[in-house]
Amino acid sequence: MTGTIDPVAEQTPAFPAARAAGCPFDPPPTVQALRERTRLTRVRLADGSTPWLVTRYDDQRALMADPRISSDVTRPGFPSPSPVRGRPLSFILMDDPEHARLRRMVTAPFAIRRVEAMRPTVQKIVDDLIDEMLAGPRPVDLVQAFALPVPSLVICQLLGVPYADHDFFQDNSRVLINRDVTPEERWVAVDRLSAYLDRLIGEKLDHPEDDLLSSLADRVGKGELTRPEAAQIGVLMLVAGHETTANMIALGTLALLEHPDQLALLRESDDPALVASAVEELLRYLHITHNGRRRVALADIEIAGQVIREGEGVILPNDIANRDPEAFPDPDRLDIRRDARRHVAFGFGPHQCLGQPLARMELQVVYGTLYRRIPTLRLAARLDEIPFKHDGAVYGVYELPVTW
Amino acid sequence: MKVTVDQDRCVASGQCVTAAMAVFDQRDEDGVVVLLDPNPSAELAEDVRNAAALCPVMAIMVEE
Ligand code: HEM
Ligand code: SF4
């Protein structure tokens, strides 16, 4: 090492960047400003590498659906948020055809008709948790009392994971998606979750039930899948299935409390179409997966007269695409009546969120029920006292003290 | 309007079914798209165009 500083890297904006103080719902202003200036630029990651960052909605969508772009985290040049060991999270980090083969093994229960059939169960879970909150002490932390239990109970039932183990899998999931833990800590969490799911798959091999882990165990029995592959898929589904939705419930509630006119519209309407529209708009506006989609180029790709070379890393920060005025007029305004369905909060291309029908239905039930059953719901702290997950791969709040 | 779908490319996101339930459905075994109506009527045209625009892998082709 000579100790000289690479002048190009020094001038390159850092990514991820910090949000502005007092604007907890908006993407970092420095990243938003990049979109206004350019379609393609280099950014600097914590490890010193300088991958490309694609700023606009249209370019991001096109690239996410482009077969010349790879999700394979083991390829050199992949701009991983943290050092990786192997491929811990199954097909989310793979390319087709392997990705498609594995993904199709778990898509059946997420079909729209199957998810709709679960709606009464989710409604009951939501109603029961609200009953418990209303009967309990005030103020209460909405995250622990409501936002985390709803999707955790639902994904446990779908997968066939005992909900009694929720402290274990919630704690380890949190380590997995935290930005500020060491790679070693993250690997330990992955190993714990993998061992846990491996044990459950073993149990389902002997005693199959009507759940997704049993269907994976069945494929292991038939030799279509190895047991470690099945366990990795289980870890992916369990982690992705509860943290994201939980953050949308808590952060969505906070955003609505801070936009009382929008909250009133939602509370006073009994039109399911408005509730569905509010879900899409909150997904767009809040965009919680704020580390950007990460990819590496498999071939030279030209954008706006510049060339992303084969083997170079690409970051697609979907949060600023969802605030692109070309795609969404007046993008920084939360407006639950707009048609926001074309947002990229679930990504785009072959990796677009597998759980989105379920997440949508859960959020529709929650946003359509919580504020009607507790119409005087309000924050029990000042906004600047709320701890935000600036350090997590999934944005949200650690705690949300509320009362009524 | 004439609609075709590419089942090989489909990733079972369900977007088309939500957008136009009368035209698209999903296979029971893996959620892959099934075309119910290749010649949807004029009043469904807007929903079908939306489905095609929402499909994350461009597996829905629409000829006007
Ligand atoms: C509001 C809640 C959710 C949000 C915002 C969200 C967001 C996302 C995003 C942005 C991706 C794309 C990753 C990429 O392109 O690299 C993704 C993929 C995925 N999500 Fe979700 N998700 C949510 C809920 C869920 C739920 C409830 C489940 C499962 C039950 C789930 C399971 C998955 C899986 C398995 C993938 C990987 C898909 C693939 O690689 O083919 N997600 N999610
Ligand atoms: S929208 Fe596209 S990917 Fe999703 S189910 Fe329909 S055809 Fe398949």
CA pair distance B35, B60, nearest whole angstrom: 10
Mutate to test the pocket of ligand 1, among A60, A315, A353, A365 (most ligand atoms within 8 A of CB): A353
Q: Is any Cβ of chain B less than 8 angstroms from the Cβ of A111?
A: yes
> What's residue A356's pLDDT?
97
Structure tokens at A25: 């719902």
* Chain B contact probe: residue of A99, A104, A158 with most B CBs at under 10 A: A104
Structure tokens at B62: 């629409």
Q: Is any atom of ligand 2 closer than 6 Å to the C-beta of B3?
A: no
CA pair distance A295, A293, nearest whole angstrom: 7
- Quick one: average pLDDT of B5-19? 97
- Quick one: average pLDDT of B27-37? 96
CA pair distance A218, A224, nearest whole angstrom: 9
- Structural domain total, chain A: 1
CA pair distance A47, B26, nearest whole angstrom: 43
Q: Is any atom of ligand 1 closer than 6 Å to the C-beta of A389?
A: no
Q: Is A361 helix (H, G, I), strand (E, B) or coil?
A: helix
State yes or no: pLDDT of A208 exceeds 70.
Answer: yes
- Quick one: average pLDDT of A9-33? 90
State yes or no: pLDDT of A10 exceeds 80.
Answer: no
- Quick one: average pLDDT of A216-239? 94
Nearest-neighbour CA in chain B from A349: distance (Å): 5
> What's residue A2's pLDDT?
42
Whether residue A11 lies inside any domain: the answer is no
Q: Per-residue confidence at A1, pLDDT binned at 50, 70, 90?
A: very low
Which among B41, B40, B47 is positioned nearest to B4, based on CA atoms? B40
CATH of the domain at A395: 1.10.630.10
**B13 to chain A: nearest residue by CA?**
A354
Mean pLDDT of chain A: 93
Whether residue A1 lies inside any domain: the answer is no
Nearest ligand to the C-alpha atom of residue A343: 1
**A112 to chain B: nearest residue by CA?**
B14
β-strand partners of A54: A40
DSSP A165-214: GHHHHHHHHHHHHBTTS-HHHHHHHHHHHHHHHHHHHHHHHHS--SSHHH
Structure tokens at A16: 């991820």
Whether residue A9 lies inside any domain: the answer is no
**B8 to chain A: nearest residue by CA?**
A100
- Quick one: average pLDDT of A354-372? 97
Q: Which atom of ligand 2 is nearest to the CA of B6?
A: 7
Q: Is any atom of ligand 2 closer than 6 Å to the C-beta of B19?
A: no
pTM of the model as a whole:
0.95
pLDDT digits (tens, 9 = 90+) for A126-159: 999 999 999 999 999 999 999 999 999 999 999 9
Q: Which atom of ligand 1 is nearest to the CA of A93?
A: 40
State yes or no: pLDDT of A307 exceeds 80.
Answer: yes
Lowest-pLDDT range of A188-197, A367-376, B50-59: A188-197
Nearest-neighbour CA in chain B from A99: distance (Å): 10
> What's residue A179's pLDDT?
67
Could you tell me how far CA B26 lies from the centroid of its own chain? 9
Window 37-96 of A, Cβ < 8 Å to B: 64-65
Long-range contacts of B6-11 (CB under 8 A, 24+ apart): B6/B59, B6/B60, B6/B61, B7/B32, B7/B33, B7/B59, B9/B57, B9/B58, B9/B59, B10/B57, B10/B59, B11/A100, B11/A103, B11/A107, B11/A350, B11/A351, B11/A352, B11/A354, B11/B56, B11/B57, B11/B59
Inspect the interface and report whether the beta carbons of B54 and A342 lie closer than 8 Å. yes
Q: Is any atom of ligand 2 closer than 6 Å to the C-beta of B11?
A: yes
Q: Per-residue confidence at A3, pLDDT binned at 50, 70, 90?
A: very low
Whether residue A4 lies inside any domain: the answer is no
Whether residue A5 lies inside any domain: the answer is no
Could you tell me how far CA A10 lies from the centroid of its own chain? 31
- Residue A216 — φ and ψ, nearest 5°? -70, -40
**A104 to chain B: nearest residue by CA?**
B30
Whether residue A6 lies inside any domain: the answer is no
Nearest ligand to the C-alpha atom of residue B8: 2
State yes or no: pLDDT of A249 exceeds 50.
Answer: yes
Q: Is any Cβ of chain B less than 8 angstroms from the Cβ of A110?
A: yes
Q: Is any Cβ of chain B less than 8 angstroms from the Cβ of A103?
A: yes
Q: What is the CATH number of domain B2-63?
A: 3.30.70.20
Complex prediction ipTM = 0.96
Count A/B contacts: CB-CB distance under 8 Å. 69
Q: Per-residue confidence at B5, pLDDT binned at 50, 70, 90?
A: very high
Q: How far is the CA of A104 from the centre of ligand 1 (A)?
A: 14
